[in-house]
Chains A and B, each alone.
Chain A
């Protein structure tokens, strides 16, 4: 069997039954990363040596009858903001930090290693996860991320390589991070599935901090089921991260056939979307009515986007205060990242605290609406992948409406983006399911149900 573009369960069964060896898998994906990765500016570092050591260990364990589970021997890529030991650089996508190294592994990397997964690459990302205000794709020292669906189309960000590497079959799954849009955006632009867990579900220890109260880590993969399997391995409390919740998580992969879901749509949620995205969303609602009900919901009049944006700008300015104050941001790639963060000094402490107070109203309002639903649905992104040489519209910057992203990230809610169509140029569109806090299993079940009656997730770009 060719292991490329296979769902994790198929790969796992092939590994468990020794039809495919972990070393063969690692070699296959290492070769793809090395030969195809540059085409998409997807890779910072191929971790060949570490990967082959881990793959040989997995092979020996499985041969000895010690199969650890569905990720044992499966290669993956980590966004290059996750600390990795052993002399592997962790660059945060930023030229001034291209030689940065850590002597420990991020908790997520450690948990995946315990599950037997094999890290084969550190994947490209927007510099400092986009926290300095970038406005166009050329904002990483590894070059603009390219979507495998179009040579001139942006992969999205900030988890650019995590999106493009999965989409191009360079890794079976990847880990990304989201503060506002950084998992859902590359999932949408690259036509794959991306899960943003509840804030606190996954330890952030060893991950670059952009915004302490907004950052989440999660998987990007080919299917919702793949995302559930990965989340099962990485979720859980961590003494190194006090915000990692002491709540158990076990992926519930029970067959959702016949389950009736209750979906909500925020009034006018797709009004600002591009025509192709809006049309795909309207078609998706018709499909969703086969597996549940769809009702329009209204939200209390609160400044959702202003709250999340204020928190993001203020915390990012503090997280990177040393680089901003020293002027080291002038060494970043995007010209606008050289100075935009200076404006954050204009955020008054009182306004940041007020945003945190209004945030308490936001989380209660979101829960009021979601407590009656299984998920809110909306376009994953308001547009398809933008051209590489143009400024894009960004909710975090405020030139496109994204109430779902503002609420979802401001309130720390889980969401999953799945492909739901293509525009006339063949670029993918996306659908998101956003659930109540800690309801990853519900949004995963809804996304699995969606993927059981559609085939968008089975389409892959012509990579070679």
Chain B
């Protein structure tokens, strides 16, 4: 399948490892990615300032996706996926909002398209590509690894909106990890939030939330934590040292993006998956991968 891809700010401005690994992995599973002609914000931080303006920004993404001529759009960020889903539902159901948004889009020669279908990495790989195809593509099974998954909040909640997995017992990311040969563990803190949304107003609390989840995962004795959202990646990987300092905890936990893990199983070179950019101690995880 050929899909348009909207990355969102966090990936494009700092979480390069996620972008690199998605760009490497998906084409090997016959998913061709087409970048949008512009890279604007989805509207997430604007939601707290002016809900209408946020919905306009989200509708603009769907309009830009539609102008590529493609009907499928990959949004690898949980937060962007949520903001665009909510805006889409409102615009499709509220005539007044829709006409106001359409007027603004028309000024730029853009057209809102309600038929664009959105995908996240999780449902694209699990539901569209399918576990069997992935299993067949694996050249280097990651046998012997024990991993914990963190699916994130906004990609599974809230159910009424239509999300990619069950809100209280998400399993797809675990199944995707199992398919590359690694074992997964269930744990009570699985649904706990990474705290990323609080970095704007309460940085210390955000870091404490992230540290308490890292601590819980570390106590499971797993080889690493797998994430699939750039905000969660930022909190658990890029800011792990900061979180440890803030919470005064002793944590040293490898954190990788699912697409990095899949890339390893597809035998893609580590530097092409951005593994040199992870700030958490991923070397201990990489050392356990069978050669």
A binds B: no
